């Protein structure tokens, strides 16, 4: 299972909608179709602030 963490070290809840991700040398191959092939839990997204870099 592939997982990633946010800046606070919390695992980001994602669901893969395509083939499983495989990490090789710290990199994953991006899907060739539209989108990234993952769904991020909307509740996780809703409870985080938008960072504009300002």
Per-domain residue ranges for the chain? Answer: 1-18+36-49
pTM listed for this prediction: 0.43
Output DSSP code: residue 5.
B
Distance CA 20, CA 7 (A): 23
2/50: higher pLDDT = 50
The residue ranges of DSSP E strands in the chain, in sequence order, are 14-16, 38-40
pLDDT digits (tens, 9 = 90+) for 21-47: 778 898 887 777 777 677 888 888 888
Distance CA 36, CA 28 (A): 11
For 46, list phi and psi in degrees, rounded to 5. -65, -30
Q: In DSSP terms, which residues pair with 14 in a beta bridge?
A: 40
Distance CA 23, CA 29 (A): 8
């Amino acid at each position: 299972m592939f997982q990633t963490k946010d800046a606070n070290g919390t695992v980001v809840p994602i669901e893969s909608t395509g083939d499983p991700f495989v990490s090789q040398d710290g990199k994953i191959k991006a899907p060739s179709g539209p989108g990234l092939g993952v769904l991020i839990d909307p509740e996780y997204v809703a409870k985080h602030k938008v960072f504009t870099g300002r």
